Homo-oligomer: A and B are copies of this chain.
Amino acid sequence: MAVTLKEVAERAGVSRSAVSRTFTDGASVSDVMRRKVEKAASELGYSPNALASSLTTGRTKLIGLVSNNFHNPIFLEVFDLFTRGLQDRGLRPLLVNLSDEVEPENSVRMLRQYSVDGVVVASSTLPSGFAKAFRDAGVPVVHSFGRYSSAPEVHVVGIDNREAGRLAARTLVERGYTQVGFMGGPETATSTQDRYTGFMSEISAHPNIDVSYSFAKEYSFDAGREEMLRLLKNRPAQAYFGGDDVLSIGALSAIKDSGLRCPDDVGILGLNDMEMARWNNINLTTIHQPIPQIVSSSIELMVATLAEGDRYPEARIFSCSVVERGTLRPAPKA
């Protein structure tokens, strides 16, 4: 069906090498030759087979984009940014949905079968073993939204979730809340663990503050709502740091349904600053995570790693900031 190199060569009356060379830049081809070949090629509608050429060049320009976050709306933006950013650099995202996987083996094998040039793991909930499994298989890997470490074993780009936890705690304390709660996502996610650690360490510097904590089953509206309903049954704290926006919105829904008001009765602080957070029927005060920066930095790092062969593992951390909206008491005037 498709037109091949050979047919173009025959039509142009030149060797196959000549055709190949006109389509690989940096090769030595004369102008007349180039014109002959291009004429034949366009007449036949030829375009080179990327997969065949990958056999000899060793590069496919395929990048595995693996994630398990297909229920958190912020990841639609993440996928948008990744796909566009990769495309703009001539790379092709091969999307892998790891939603139910616990072992990295299958996906590692699959991506190796397709000879991907690199892998981007875009997830805050996958264990770090996944990224390492790719590295061990000799595939360049960037873990976006992964766990920050001061001795990274693979490239990591994201925020320092411990610092985010501290920021959350500091924010609640500043606002004058004396009974605060950490309502985290699933306890197995490193992002949850780190936010918890940071939150608690900051609170422990304020001995007069009462603190409690609990974990929702997953990062979802329903899980957040359910967990908050449970918390409201006993005596709730004055304000909670919800593990994530979608969880926090679920919590808001629970508060509203219980006849309480936010922030007057219970305050909520989210994390991510996803689009819905600013919808005025939600209006969630939240910690902003700089998604576009994280994604574009991840792509740059991937591109650089592909160019350099192997590159020393690196962690890139972006800072977060509080976005003032309506679910937390205002800060006292300075």
Contacts and interface: CB of A to CB of B under 8 A. Distances in A.
B80 A113 contact: no
A302 to B, nearest CB: 16
A113 B279 contact: no
Interface string A92-135: 11111101000000000110111100000000000000000000
Contacts of A48: 113
Contacts of A334: none
A71 interface: yes
A16 to B, nearest CB: 16
A205 interface: no
Contacts of A179: none
B51 A60 contact: yes
B47 A275 contact: no
Contact of A80 (B65, B70, B96): B70
A307 B36 CA distance: 39
A265 interface: no
Interface residues of A, number: 51
A281 B54 CA distance: 52
A207 to B, nearest CB: 36
A197 interface: no
B114 A92 contact: yes
Contacts of A49: 113, 115
A60 to B, nearest CB: 7
A180 to B, nearest CB: 23
Contacts of A221: 275, 279
A325 B275 CA distance: 23
Interface stretch (A163-171, A249-257, A314-322): A249-257
A62 to B, nearest CB: 8
Interface in A70-97: 70-71, 73, 75-77, 79-80, 83-84, 87, 92-97
Contacts of A109: 47
A151 interface: no
Contact of A96 (B47, B62, B83, B138): B83
A42 interface: no
A252 B275 contact: no
A79 B47 CA distance: 29
A65 B253 contact: no
Interface in A221-278: 221, 249-250, 252-253, 256-257, 275-276
16 contacts: A2-B112, A48-B113, A50-B113, A51-B113, A70-B77, A70-B79, A76-B76, A79-B79, A84-B99, A87-B97, A93-B94, A249-B279, A252-B281, A253-B279, A256-B280, A276-B276
Interface of A: 1-2, 47-52, 54-55, 60, 62, 65, 70-71, 73, 75-77, 79-80, 83-84, 87, 92-97, 99, 109-110, 112-115, 138, 221, 249-250, 252-253, 256-257, 275-276, 279-282
